[in-house]
Structure 1
Amino acid sequence: MRRDHATDGKPVLRFASGLQVRVGNLKAGLGLLITATLLATLSAGLGVTQAGIPDLLRALTGAEIGDAQTYALWTVRLPRIVLGFMAGWAVALAGAMLQSIARNPLADPGLFGLSQGSMTMIMILFVLAPTAPKVMIALAAMAGGLGVAMLLIWLVGGERSSGLAILLMGIAIESMLSSVGSLLILYMPPEASLALSEWMAGSLFKARWPTIAIFAPLILLSIAGIFLFGRALSAYDLGNETAMAIGEPVGRSRPVLLAFAVLLSAAAVTAVGPLTFLGVLAPHLAGSISPAISRARLFLSALMGGILVIAADAMTRGLVGDIPMPIGLSLTIIGVPLFILALRFQALRKMQTH
């Protein structure tokens, strides 16, 4: 490893394998990791029961803590923190990938219809089998998301189809599936309709360790995916024609990238419900902190997504205790002002450069 400078003059670290990392991106990543740790520590201490990280450390060293503190930490708070970070990571990573594929900064799993495909299949499963196990729900979510992805690829044609065509077709499919979902909620029994409405708002209230154990391998897979797909996505950022000109097999790689984004999105939808706007919000906020491309952009976006969900959950429990406030509402309250500020700072930065 040696320190060098990129073509734009910014410092980078070059490795013997050929990988290079911008120093600014590395500092931003470390800063986001520290922020996530601090937010998790703060979140662990929020709630009706007086318990926090000191109690957790005492329990890990063998000291006795009260049953109420044990329950609050191990059964309620820590699962919410861990699952929230994982879900935010997955949705933000999927959003960053889809933005490169579509070459559109507003693309995310919801806008492509992938999340809506997963939600529609889960809703149909709830209608047909209200007591379906978690495995069937996860499979239904995957089937719905993959169905939409395959439909998108078929409708927009071959490898020369533009990212804009995929995005517009995704919006059309999403609108149609949203109508189907509204009809299902409208004509379902009141109890099932209420349960579905609460789930569609997004919630960490039912976070449990078994769900985390199922989700964890996907997070590890996503880290490998960042290294595998980062280079291809940087080619997509240049446009389909340029990507093909430099040797990227668009016809083969695009379905793989869409399938991977579906896997991430469907897992998050199954675990916590839809996290609306997070796939757009997190990559933009990460980019405002440290502009990045390729693998660094994916990694920073995923970290930002996890941080935003932890912050939203902390705000929920800090303001209203253990009432199951929708995580989607908390994300909107926190994320939208940050999004506006980020856009404003970017505009000011461009004015100063000119």
Structure 2
Amino acid sequence: MSSRALDGRRVLRLPGGMQIGLANLAAALALTLASLGLGAVSLSWGETRLDLLAPLDADQAFALYQVRLPRLLLGFMAGWSVALAGAMLQSLARNPLADPSLLGLSQGAMVAIMVLTVLAPGLPPAWLPVAALLGGLAVAALLLALVRGHAGGLAVLLMGIALESTLSAVTAVLVLYTPPETSHALAGWMAGSLALADWPRVTMLAPWFAASPIAILLLGRALRLIDLGAPMAMALGLDAARTRVAVLIVAVLLSSAALTAVGPLMFLGVMAPQLAAALSPASGRARLVLAALTGGLLVTAADMLARNAGTDIGLPVGLVLVTLGAPLFVLAMRMRLFLRMSSS
């Protein structure tokens, strides 16, 4: 239902207390249409409505349905998944810097994929998601074993950083000492790219994306209690150990699926939740949804810039994402700091 927020902005109010500015929705729609319309083959606004009112020639139809639409969907779903995993892990660790890469979950999936690529290059691509999932789950299980008996989020964060550092060294060794053609392919994939986006990859990631609202519904309340602090959460009846296991498993599933599809999207799991909080403060399920939406839109914007950067070869979306997102992240943090100082 549309109404006005306390500052007078028009917002769309959703169940659970979540509200989204209508201006933000309009900007998201404009970004989507621009992503579909801009490129080497130009499409007008009317032609991106995906209906029969704007007939397309062969080149336009191929560009729209076989290149841009799969990239748009795959990028949005990957960004949604990584940002949602980051938002969940930040609540679990009670630290705004926690994300799948910082805790070593993404590195576990990366090492598994790279080892499989190097040792068994002839295996079908369908094995890569399985390897990524097993690698991420192995790191999550090791992390749980290392922090057993420690209820605080700091223990999770510190152990995760140690695992991340170790696994990053392993990935560096694999890139340096593999044959040149394999090393080049691995380096390109590690930069994060939507160049290979197609409908099979969209289909592979779609089930995890579709299941993410269920995870938000089931874990949103528990994460909101964790945000209050471990003693308060346990006093309200939260099973901290079980919640920790559930959050890590969900984070591994989402981040591993996204990593297999597009490669690592570094810093997105930290950046998107903080930008979402700066734009629209929320908690619980609303915070998770807004963080995930922000992640999806950031990857969509980064891909649009990567495809229209004026270079003969497309830039990696991961590189553009950091270049685009880091200044926004700094600006958002400065704005939040200024607002806190003004209110105190």
Same structural fold, with TM-score higher than 0.5 when normalized by the shorter chain: yes
Partner of 1:36: 28
**CA spacing shift, 1:337–1:14, aligned 2, 3 Å:** closer
Which of the residues 95, 102, 112 maps onto 1:104?
95
Q: CA deviation at 1:14?
A: 11
**CA spacing shift, 1:328–1:147, aligned 2, 3 Å:** same
Which of the residues 149, 159, 163 maps onto 1:169?
159
Partner of 1:156: 147
Aligned Cα root-mean-square deviation (Å) = 2.2
1:308 has 2:298 as partner: yes
Q: CA deviation at 1:316?
A: 1.0
User: Quick check: 1:51–1:72 contact (8 Å CA) kept in 2?
Assistant: no
1:36 and 1:228 map into 2 onto residues whose CA distance is 27
User: Quick check: 1:121–1:143 contact (8 Å CA) kept in 2?
Assistant: yes
User: How many residues get paired?
Assistant: 337
Gaps of 5+ in 1: 6-11
1:121 has 2:115 as partner: no
2:124 and 2:51 map into 1 onto residues whose CA distance is 33
User: Quick check: 1:145–1:266 contact (8 Å CA) kept in 2?
Assistant: yes
Partner of 1:193: 183
**CA spacing shift, 1:139–1:33, aligned 2, 3 Å:** farther
Which of the residues 83, 89, 95 maps onto 2:74?
83
Q: For residue 27 of structure 1, give the secondary structure of its aligned residue in structure 2.
A: strand
1:109 and 1:298 map into 2 onto residues whose CA distance is 15
**TM-score of the aligned structures, taking structure 2 as reference length:** 0.93
Runs of 4+ in 1 over 6 A off after TM superposition: 12-15
After superposition, give the CA deviation of every residue in 1:104-138 in whole Å (9 maximum; x if it has no partner). 00000000000000000000000112133232100
**CA spacing shift, 1:294–1:322, aligned 2, 3 Å:** farther
2:34 and 2:128 map into 1 onto residues whose CA distance is 32
1:268 and 1:322 map into 2 onto residues whose CA distance is 26
1:276 has 2:269 as partner: no
Counterparts of 1:325-344 in structure 2 under 5 Å?
Answer: 325-344=315-334
1:330 and 1:336 map into 2 onto residues whose CA distance is 10
**CA spacing shift, 1:32–1:146, aligned 2, 3 Å:** farther
User: Quick check: 1:41–1:52 contact (8 Å CA) kept in 2?
Assistant: no
Which of the residues 3, 15, 20 maps onto 1:27?
20
Which of the residues 327, 331, 337 maps onto 1:347?
337
Partner of 1:54: 46
